[in-house]
Structure 1
């Protein structure tokens, strides 16, 4: 799924990563609200990175909820655990998301935040995530910046220059092919959001 040099790239920049991007807490809160997570949910944070999304998920699912944070960069995930391990109920797993096998029950939701463009075989990813979801479980693909902004940022970096985000309409079509029902799409000037329920 990944080229080795991409993993190396994220391992190298792990320490600086959080200082390169401002976290717009109100926008991320709104995106997580749109996902409709419920207290007690079992959530997979796919491509967790330094764990930006973890406190927002935790707030939504409460102390009874569980999160599995998966990332292929050990350094990025170590940062996430250092920052948010104390929240409780979070399992940190270093793995390629395409090889990942959950040790727990199936998930109520898989969230993919600021990560989807880095996946090489997107249809395979969708199918794989579907196999990790409960009946009526859902996959959310979201970014806290626009699709155009995502693609402009990636274009300027050699390691990720081919990692593009397609339109919500296109991604929605892939999700239908992969066995989902798309319930919400937003391809806006300042954010990107798709929610799809396992059929």
Structure 2
């Protein structure tokens, strides 16, 4: 995973210019998540913080966000852009070793990040510990699985970081102790919601 960290640290300064942010689509994805005012949310693999303003809008001033990423440079960009929103803490570290300093989360969101996790089953089990009963993990992309895999295939650093079909990932989640409530594996988005049961 360390060569991945170097890759993301290196491209952090240009990252936001490499892909257009479709605000409407991201807002629609976040709406599907079902966040509520006052929620405590973990943004796993936050990167440059694309999701942060959308989460903040959904959970309001009483809500709290923890943004975690293993790339210090990516997270510095996120803090520079969205630190002023308030109620957001930024933690540089490996999500697989992350332990919050407070209780548990109502929701863990994984936006455009899941393929970069090497041990996906271990990740699901680890995240389950960080969720309250009835809390949920959401894996989502604002493009199709095919597009994600095509983009990664063209880059030496992430060419093996694949996004599996929704049904496959759903099976992993069920094995890890979640109840999968929604799967969208479409040509314009990828969205899986799983509740800690």
* Aligned counterparts of 1:104 and 1:75: Cα–Cα separation in 2: 25
SS at match of 1:69: strand
Match of 1:159 among 157, 160, 168: 157
Q: What is aligned with 1:77?
A: 75
Moved over 2 A (4+): none
Q: What is aligned with 2:6?
A: 8
* Aligned counterparts of 2:73 and 2:139: Cα–Cα separation in 1: 23
**C-alpha distance after superposition, 1:106-137 (max 9, x if no partner):** 00000000000000000000000000000100
Aligned-pair CA distance for 1:152 = 0.0
Aligned-pair CA distance for 1:171 = 0.2
Match of 1:100 among 98, 113, 119: 98
Match of 1:179 among 161, 170, 177: 177
* Aligned counterparts of 1:37 and 1:105: Cα–Cα separation in 2: 18
Q: What is aligned with 2:40?
A: 42
Aligned-pair CA distance for 1:6 = 0.9
Aligned-pair CA distance for 1:5 = 1.1
Q: What is aligned with 1:118?
A: 116
* Aligned counterparts of 2:184 and 2:82: Cα–Cα separation in 1: 29
Structure 1: unaligned runs, 5 residues or longer: none
Correspondence 1:150 to 2:148: yes
**How many residue pairs are counted as aligned between the two chains?**
197
Q: When the two structures are superposed, what TM-score results if normalisation uses the length of structure 1?
A: 0.99
Aligned-pair CA distance for 1:105 = 1.4
* Aligned counterparts of 1:28 and 1:58: Cα–Cα separation in 2: 13
* Aligned counterparts of 2:174 and 2:88: Cα–Cα separation in 1: 30
Aligned-pair CA distance for 1:100 = 0.5
**C-alpha distance after superposition, 1:1-40 (max 9, x if no partner):** x2x1110000000000000000000000010011000000
Q: When the two structures are superposed, what TM-score results if normalisation uses the length of structure 2?
A: 1.00
**C-alpha distance after superposition, 1:60-101 (max 9, x if no partner):** 000000000000000000000000000000000001000101
